[in-house]
Amino acid sequence: MVSHDTIQRTLQRNGMHGCCPQRKPLLKPMHKKACLEFARANAEKEDY
């Protein structure tokens, strides 16, 4: 039996990457609304 690490190393050595992109949770409408409200409330502030 061949280990997962051996397969991964061999693929990378040959220019291939045996990995899947990390899944990220989608923004829900309430998250978008909260983000927009935060941006509008802090648009006037320039701390940098």
Give the model's pLDDT for residue 48.
58
Asked if the structure places residue 48 within a domain, the reply is no
Expressed as residue numbers, the domain containing 9 is: 4-41
Judge whether residue 43 has pLDDT over 80: yes
Asked if the structure places residue 46 within a domain, the reply is no
Which H/E stretch holds residue 33? helix 29-41
pLDDT tens-digit series, residues 13-39: 998 876 678 888 899 999 999 999 999
Give the model's pLDDT for residue 47.
66
Asked if the structure places residue 28 within a domain, the reply is yes
DSSP state of 38: H
Q: What is the residue type of 8?
A: Q
